[in-house]
Chain A
Amino acid sequence: MAKKRILFVCATGIATSTVVEEKVCDYLREQGIDFEADQRNVGSVPSIGNDFDLIVASTQVPYDIDTPVISGLPFLTGIGADETLKKIKDVLTK
């Protein structure tokens, strides 16, 4: 299976997406999934979003793109975090 590419975005690209990225990447490494991650602000999604297999966003993504987008909010509130990790794994391994 080819290496999967995940893009983490938030409004500034330095605050919440960093926390979300850490949690998701720890999980994916535990699961033995081969992936690489990048972190940007949401404004870069139209230009590079389609180069990724998945976008995990802790802000609204107001763009029409083909790449699936999953909300990173559960990793900040802790509510629904496990279900979201599973959803991320499903998207990357389907």
Chain B
Amino acid sequence: MDVSIEPGAIQANLTATSQDELFSKMAQPLVLAGKVHDDFAQHVIDREKAFPTGLPFENFGVAIPHTDPEHVIEPAVAVATLAEPVEFRVMGDPDQTVLVTLVFVLALNDGYAHLEFLQKVIKLAQDADSVEKMFSARDDRSLFELVKRFLT
């Protein structure tokens, strides 16, 4: 099944003062769209504490929070650029932190089936020009158009 990209789940210049607030705000549209179970955000929060997903790039930080497949109903993604950076711990190196301004919440339930999608997410994060365009998107709709173009 294709990974769904819904306009409601793509948010530009989102304001969040903590990871908890961030994950709740990003998960809510996925819950409303019936893509994930009600307690998805809490599982992402718990998972992020145990297995952080911050990725330090040269000029910015990206995070790709996700959780176990059983919390997902249908594969989907939520994307947000952040008005102010939120601190994450670095994936595989939790003593390090990274200031994150671009977040992909991955609601996936089958890694091999979604490999192509994951590769697109990683490739996008590595492409500074595309990421710069996303940071420049002033509203949710413009960011949605960019995400749709970059990830499909």
| Chain A contact residues, CB within 8 Å of chain B | 10-19, 22, 39, 42, 57-60, 71-73, 75-79
Q: A18-B111, A59-B51 are in contact. Are A79 and B68 (CB under 8 A)?
A: no
CB distance from B20 to the nearest CB of A (A): 18
**Residues of chain A contacted by B122 (CB below 8 angstroms):** 19, 75-76
Binding site for A on B (CB under 8 A): 47, 50-51, 53, 55-58, 64, 66-69, 90-94, 106, 108-112, 114-115, 118-119, 122, 125-126
**In the assembled complex, how far is the CB of residue A87 from the closest CB belonging to chain B, in whole angstroms?**
15
Select which of A57, A58, A75, A77 is within 8 A of B57 by beta carbon.
Answer: A77
Query: How far does the Cβ of A7 sit from chain B's closest Cβ, in whole Å?
Result: 15
- The smallest beta-carbon distance between A84 and chain B, in angstroms, is 12
- Evaluate contact between B115 and A19: CB separation under 8 angstroms: yes
Do the beta carbons of A79 and B64 come within 8 Å of each other? Answer: no
Tally inter-chain residue pairs, CB-CB below 8 A.
75
Given A15-B108, A58-B91, A71-B92, do A22 and B126 touch, yes or no (CB 8 Å)? no
Contacts of A57 in B (CB 8 A): 92
- Interchain CB contact under 8 A, A76 and B55: yes
Say yes or no: B112 contacts A77, CB within 8 Å: no
Whole-angstrom CA separation of A60 from B69 in the bound complex: 20
Additional A-B contact list (7), CB under 8 Å, known A14-B108, A18-B111: A12-B47, A15-B64, A15-B66, A18-B114, A19-B122, A73-B91, A76-B91
Are A60 and B115 closer than 8 Å at their CB atoms?
no
Given A22-B119, A76-B55, A14 and B110 contact (CB-CB distance below 8 Å): yes
Give me 20 A-to-B residue pairs in the complex whose CB atoms sit less than 8 angstroms apart, sorted by A's number.
Answer: A10-B51, A11-B51, A15-B64, A15-B108, A15-B111, A15-B118, A16-B53, A18-B115, A19-B118, A42-B51, A58-B91, A73-B92, A76-B55, A76-B122, A76-B125, A77-B55, A77-B57, A77-B126, A79-B57, A79-B58
Q: Which 6 pairs between the two chains have the least Cβ-Cβ distance?
A: A14-B111, A11-B51, A18-B111, A78-B126, A19-B118, A59-B51
State whether A12 touches B66 (Cβ < 8 A): yes
List of A residues within 8 angstroms of B112 by Cβ: 14, 18
Distance in Å: Cβ of B103 to nearest Cβ of chain A: 14
**In the complex where A15-B66, A16-B64 touch, is A72 in contact with B111 (Cβ < 8 A)?**
no
